[in-house]
Amino acid sequence: MAMSKESKKEKKAKVKIKPGRLARREAITGLIFVTPWIIGAAIFLIYTLGSSFWYGLNNIRITPMGKNFNFVGLGNYTQILLVDTDFTPQLSQYLFSTIISVPVIVVFALIIAILLNGKIRCKGFFRLIFFLPVIVVSGPVMGMLADQGAATISTIDTQAIGNAVSGFLPRSLAESITELFGNMITILWYSGVQILIFLSALQKIDSSMYEAAQMDGGSGWECFWKITLPTIKPMILLNVVYTVVFISGNEQNAIITLIQDSMFSGTKEKGYGYASAMAWLYSLVVVLIVVLFAVLLMARKDIYERQVKRARRERKKEARTVKRIERRGIRNARKIEKARTKRKYKTYDGSGDY
């Protein structure tokens, strides 16, 4: 009974604490900063997505009187997947090349960020060097450099890599790896924003953690795996998502060019509706790639988090055991009390016994 009273007191003590004035103020400030994006997305994104989805279900003709819609249902999608000979190969090549190039970009950005975060002179100058290509090669400048061959490795070296890889890998995967090495300069140019994100994450790590680890005999490699990597893990996922979206929407992407050509095509089968259906299929593949990387990065949990969860499960198990013992004790006490009551009020049977 005493244990049950203590458990009741503990339940009463567990009262939800309301957020303080500072927490409410920070929440309101964050909501104010996010509100313009929410309004912009509601005005310019939701309506556009709805219109694009409706376009994908129609065959649209541009006439002097305006757009002429002819509802075809899933006809555009079936034609893209079953008839079009360009979209499916380009999509498979994009899928393999993105899965290969995204880890290369993120790992390169992490290495450069760690080097720039060290104790070196002229940090600002080196950061400018790595971020400058992001500004210079954006837009038409990138197209001009790509046309002149300044963004790729020489064809002879690329062909040698392709011949070496194609001997033991499937053709589609070998082509993706060859394309990766061919566009290595362009890929490294794409890592400027990721470097800045990693730098901001590395600078927020408390230096006392490294000092404590070094005092315990931890090496630089152990500090990286036990302190740096678990701390910046959310930024790794952010950079992966950003890289996938950036590569998918880049002007040099062959699928983007294919969608634009289909949009302005003068054929009867293609047009705005056909291009919209193609864009929706492409967006679905991009979302699947993002989900794949998110699952891979979020699956491995930190060892300390696992230990904390294991300890919580053990505490919950102990609490359930204590409650079970309390309930058993209450039932036994009730049985004993009931037996005493029966003996006390037992009727007299005439033999002198109660």
Assess whether 105 and 232 both reside in one domain: yes
Amino acid 114: pLDDT? 86
> Do 189 and 220 share a domain, yes or no?
yes
Q: Name beta bridge partners: 332.
A: none
Q: Clarify whether residues 91 and 114 are in a common domain.
A: yes
Residue 353 — φ and ψ, nearest 5°? -105, 150
Within a domain: residue 228? Answer: yes
Residues 132 and 262 in one domain: no
- My answer on whether 71 and 157 are in the same domain is no
What is the span of the domain harbouring residue 66?
A: 45-83+254-300
> Are 165 and 227 within one domain?
yes
Question: 245 φ, ψ to 5°?
Answer: -65, -40
Q: What is the pLDDT of residues 69-119, one digit of tens each?
A: 788 888 888 888 888 888 888 888 888 888 888 888 888 888 888 888 877
pLDDT of the residue at 113? 86
Reported pTM? 0.66
pLDDT for 227-278, tens place per residue?
Answer: 888 888 888 989 999 988 888 887 777 888 888 888 887 677 787 888 888 8
Is residue 209 exposed (0-12), middle (13-18) or buried (19+ Cβ within 10 Å)? Answer: middle
Burial 145-175 (b: 16+ CB within 10 A, else e): bbeeeebbeeeeebeebbeebeeeeeeebbb
The pLDDT assigned to 32 comes to 92
Is-contact 57 273, C-beta < 8 A?
Answer: yes
Same domain (yes/no): 97, 154:
yes
By CB atoms closer than 10 A (0-12, 13-18, 19+), residue 290 is middle
Residue 51 domain-assigned (yes or no): yes
Residues 237 and 264 in one domain: no
In this prediction, the residues of the chain whose per-residue pLDDT falls under 70 are 1-19, 133-188, 266, 299-305, 344-354
Q: Is residue 282 part of a domain?
A: yes
Concatenated DSSP letters for 96-137? HHHHHHHHHHHHHHHHHHHHHTSS-S-HHHHHHHHHHHHHHT
The DSSP secondary-structure symbol of 59 reads E
Q: Number of folded domains in the chain?
A: 3
Res 140: pLDDT: 61
- Residue 69: exposure state from Cβ atoms within 10 A (0-12, 13-18, ≥19): middle
| Sign of torsion over alpha carbons 49, 51, 56, 57 | positive
Rounded Cα distance, 296 and 244, in Å:
14
Cα gap 147→141, rounded to integer Å: 10
Tally the C-alpha atoms within 13 A of residue 167's C-alpha that lie toward its C-beta: 5
Are 330 and 1 spatial neighbours (Cβ–Cβ below 8 Å)?
A: yes
In whole angstroms, give the CA distance from residue 69 to residue 64. 14
**159 in the same domain as 178:** yes
d(C-alpha 354, C-alpha 347), whole Å = 6
Query: Do 260 and 248 belong together in one domain?
Result: no
